[in-house]
């Protein structure tokens, strides 16, 4: 079956530091990959996506590249801000069938001023 | 365009009771999915509805059931509540046939079972 594995948190960084959150997946075929962000007390917001190998998703300074050879989709940002503090979820979905999202367990990011 | 909305925001129920959670999909979307997010975990897929019929279910028992209405609003019903049902319940809407299939989430309903 499909599964997503994320690095455990919390990840604590100082403002303007470089961020990497690792994500690897197991899936048959060619899934679409997503990063969602959840701010305290809120639902999930789609941060970025990629649909095929070597695609790079980007949004709000965050980037992730779909690496089929390593089955990875690591999230990166060059300079984090306090406002980036949240829980980040890596997820995948097949583009056929019911297309339910399979999520990782989430990584909490804390950015200190 | 309006986003996905859910009601109520919070709910407290007693073990054995029944609960109904409600969701209003984003304008133009024709599918709705429900997810359960336990504290400190990622969301788990419960089921999806399309054209008012269930279109796939995750590993949840039949006491979890749902409805989708012609206006694409939706309900999640849980019977015989158990303590482990305490979680954040998320509704997500999308458009069947879109590629990639993106889902947009509501703010969730926090259910506490005592």
Kindly report, residue by residue over B41-74, the tens digit of the pLDDT. Answer: 999 999 999 889 998 899 999 999 999 998 889 9
Q: How many CB atoms lie within 10 A of CB B11?
A: 15
Q: Average pLDDT of chain B?
A: 92
Strand ranges of the sheet holding B73-78, from the earlier edge strand across to the other edge: B5-7, B19-24, B73-78, B64-68
Residues of chain B contacting residue A45, judged by C-beta atoms under 8 Å apart: 105
Residues of chain B contacting residue A105, judged by C-beta atoms under 8 Å apart: 40-42
Q: Is the pLDDT of residue A96 over 90?
A: no
Q: Average pLDDT of chain A?
A: 93
Q: Is the pLDDT of residue B16 over 90?
A: yes
Question: Can you tell me the mean pLDDT for A86-107?
Answer: 87
| Structure confidence at residue A71 as a pLDDT band (50, 70, 90) | very high
CA distances from B20 to B17, B44, B63, B76 (A): 10, 18, 12, 6
Question: Can you tell me the mean pLDDT for B77-90?
Answer: 97
Q: Is residue A41 within 8 Å of residue A58, measured between CB atoms? A: no
Question: Can you tell me the mean pLDDT for A17-39?
Answer: 93
- Closest Cα in chain B to A106: B42
Question: Can you tell me the mean pLDDT for A80-100?
Answer: 87
Selection from B87, B30, B42, B88 nearest residue A92 by Cα: B42
Q: Is the pLDDT of residue B87 over 80?
A: yes
Q: Is the pLDDT of residue B1 over 60?
A: no
Residues paired with B31 in a beta bridge: B50, B94
CA distances from B4 to A19, B29, B74, B94 (A): 30, 10, 11, 10
Residues of chain B contacting residue A87, judged by C-beta atoms under 8 Å apart: none
Distance, CA of A113 to CA of A14 (rounded, Å) = 6
Q: Is residue A106 within 8 Å of residue A7, measured between CB atoms? A: no
Please name the residue ranges forming H helices in B1-114: none
Verify whether the Cβ–Cβ distance B43 to A44 is below 8 Å.
yes
**Residues of A within an 8 Å Cβ radius of B:** 4, 32, 34, 36, 42-46, 49, 51, 89, 91, 93, 95, 97-106
- Closest Cα in chain B to A50: B100
Question: Can you tell me the mean pLDDT for B75-89?
Answer: 97
Question: Can you tell me the mean pLDDT for B13-41?
Answer: 94
| Structure confidence at residue A100 as a pLDDT band (50, 70, 90) | confident
Q: Is the pLDDT of residue A29 over 70?
A: yes
Minimal C-alpha gap between B100 and chain A (Å):
7
Q: Is the pLDDT of residue B81 over 80?
A: yes
Bond before B60 cis per omega within 30 degrees: no
Q: Which two tokens stand for residue B38?
A: 């336990």
pLDDT given at position A105: 95
- Closest Cα in chain B to A32: B100
Q: Is residue B85 within 8 Å of residue B24, measured between CB atoms? A: no
CA distances from A77 to A18, A24, B7 (A): 6, 18, 35
Q: Is residue B28 within 8 Å of residue B95, measured between CB atoms? A: yes
- Closest Cα in chain B to A40: B107
Verify whether the Cβ–Cβ distance B42 to A103 is below 8 Å.
yes
């Amino acid at each position: 079956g499909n599964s997503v594995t994320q690095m455990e948190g919390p990840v604590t960084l100082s403002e303007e530091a470089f961020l990497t959150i690792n994500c690897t997946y197991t899936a048959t075929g060619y899934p679409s990959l997503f990063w969602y962000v959840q701010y305290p007390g809120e639902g999930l917001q789609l941060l970025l996506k990629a649909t095929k190998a070597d695609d790079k998703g980007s949004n709000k300074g965050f980037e992730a590249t779909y690496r089929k050879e390593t089955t990875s989709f690591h999230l990166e940002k060059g300079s984090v801000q306090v406002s980036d503090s949240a829980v980040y979820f890596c997820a995948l979905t097949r583009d056929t069938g019911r297309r339910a999202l399979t999520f990782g367990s989430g990584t909490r990011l804390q950015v200190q001023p | 365009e309006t986003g996905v909305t859910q009601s109520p925001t919070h709910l407290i129920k007693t073990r054995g009771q029944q609960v109904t959670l409600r969701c209003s999909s984003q304008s133009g979307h024709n599918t709705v999915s429900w997810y359960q997010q336990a504290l400190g975990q990622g969301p788990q897929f419960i089921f999806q509805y399309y054209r008012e019929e269930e279109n796939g279910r995750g590993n949840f028992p039949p006491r979890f059931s749902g409805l989708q209405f012609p206006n694409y609003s939706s309900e999640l019903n849980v019977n015989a509540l158990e303590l482990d049902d305490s979680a954040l319940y998320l509704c997500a809407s999308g458009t069947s046939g879109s590629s990639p299939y993106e889902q947009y989430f509501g703010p969730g309903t926090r259910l506490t079972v005592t």
